[in-house]
Structure 1
Amino acid sequence: MDKITLTGVTAVGHHGVFDFERREGQPFVVDAVLHTDFSRAAETDDIEHTAHYGEVAGYIVSEISGEPLNLIEGLAVRIAEGILAGYPVSAVDVTVHKPKAPIEVPFGDVTVSVYRERT
């Protein structure tokens, strides 16, 4: 299976369990790996035969900045399932980063990752 990889798609969202997270918002960063077959796209040189990564990036931003969720686990699943539903991919890996999570000890990043495939 061939892959398209998007890394660092960033937007401000209002996800979190604390009131201040919902009120103030914070940056979220998403990486996505789209598993697909490039054969037809390579043969025709036509974007209609592949997942348009610019559109996928826009979709990811709309989900980050859209309806708030308590957990980034839910955001990751929502993004993965939306990509599967809306784009010609066989499977998708999605990682959501919450680099400014309200953690009281020094840390570099918090991520959750999901893998979903067509059934």
Structure 2
Amino acid sequence: MTDRITLTGLRAHGRHGVYDFERERGQEFVVDAVLELDLAPAARSDEVTDTVHYGELADRLVAVLTGEPVNLIETLADRLLAICLADDRVTRATVTVHKPEAPVPHAFTDVAVTMSRTRTDPPPAAPDGGAA
């Protein structure tokens, strides 16, 4: 399938990170999300109910970004992927989490993690190592 909805550069202040100062001060995170789904029904009907409402998707993604802190942006990306795949019409999602203020002691532009999942991929492992 080649139909996609792409949301690029969604920004929110979060308190994710391994270090205490990251949790205390927080920092900006930037998310790119690509959803693959059949957009033909929406194209035919011209109704927002026949597609993924990207404004509502952005609200849900920001709620995760500004919500419960996690240590790793890999964990954050996994949670964001779950939001993207919550709509049964989405067959595949790719999320990139950018952490441009990551505590790296060298000049750099960005640190990012990109993860992709399909609806048929097994669920992520639970924090204790078992199935989610």
TM-score, normalization by structure 2: 0.87
- 2:37 aligned with 1:11: no
Specify the SS of the correspondent of 1:7. Answer: strand
- 2:119 aligned with 1:118: yes
- Higher relative helix content: 1
| RMSD between aligned residues | 0.9
- Higher relative strand content: 1
In 2, Cα distance between equivalents of 1:12 and 1:84: 23
What's the counterpart of residue 124 of structure 2? none
Q: How many residues in Structure 1 have an aligned counterpart in Structure 2? A: 119
Matches within 5 A, 1:1-119: 1=1, 2-86=3-87, 88-119=89-120
What's the counterpart of residue 125 of structure 2? none
4+ residue runs of structure 1 moved beyond 2 angstroms?
none
Residue 113 of structure 1: CA displacement? 0.4
What stretches of structure 2 of length at least 5 have no aligned partner? 121-132
Higher relative contact order by CA 8 Å / sep ≥ 6: 1 or 2?
A: 1
Give yes or no for contact 1:13–1:66 (8 Å, CA) kept in 2. yes
Q: Deviations over 1:13-61 (max 9, x none)?
A: 0000000000100000000001011111111111111111111111111
TM-score, normalization by structure 1: 0.97
In 2, Cα distance between equivalents of 1:34 and 1:26: 26
What stretches of structure 1 of length at least 5 have no aligned partner? none
